[in-house]
């Protein structure tokens, strides 16, 4: 999955592996259009945290696309109003 660099914001953040000079090795990536944010602080280098955060972001974007496609596949005829749904839940139909 390709991610457009214009669609993300990359910042550094605190990590347990920060050196004493104040530099941060943790990486936070936010997808600007979808407002999905991931963080990686488990690695000892900023580069490795960046790569790990990108993998996490790709995973989150894949989940988003899956949910989006499932909602697009819902037929209007399958929908029911809230009262009907509530009645069905309370009837024990799904127990």
More confident: 2 or 88: 2
Strand partners for 64: none
**Residue range 52-81: mean pLDDT, rounded:** 84
Residue 79 confidence (pLDDT): 67
The tens digit of pLDDT for each residue in 20-36 reads 888 899 999 999 999 99
Q: Is residue 45 part of a domain?
A: yes
Q: Is residue 84 part of a domain?
A: no
Mean pLDDT of the chain: 87
Strand partners for 3: none
CATH number where 63 lies: 3.30.160.20
Q: Has residue 45 got a pLDDT over 80?
A: yes
What domain count does the chain have? Answer: 1
Alpha-carbon span 55 to 1, nearest angstrom:
10
Which of 21-25, 72-76, 78-82, 84-88 is predicted with the least confidence, judged by mean pLDDT? 78-82
Q: Has residue 38 got a pLDDT over 60?
A: yes
Q: Is residue 26 part of a domain?
A: yes
What is the domain range of residue 21?
5-73
Structure pTM?
Answer: 0.74
Q: Is residue 33 part of a domain?
A: yes
Q: Is residue 9 part of a domain?
A: yes
């Amino acid at each position: 999955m390709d991610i457009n660099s214009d669609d993300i914001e990359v910042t550094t953040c605190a990590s347990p592996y920060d050196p004493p000079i104040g530099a941060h090795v943790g990486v936070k990536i936010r997808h600007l259009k979808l407002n999905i944010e991931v963080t990686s602080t488990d690695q000892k280098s900023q580069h490795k945290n960046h790569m790990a955060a990108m993998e996490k972001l790709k995973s989150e974007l894949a989940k988003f696309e899956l949910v989006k496609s499932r909602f697009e596949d819902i037929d209007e005829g399958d929908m029911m109003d809230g009262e009907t749904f509530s009645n069905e839940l309370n009837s024990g139909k799904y127990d």
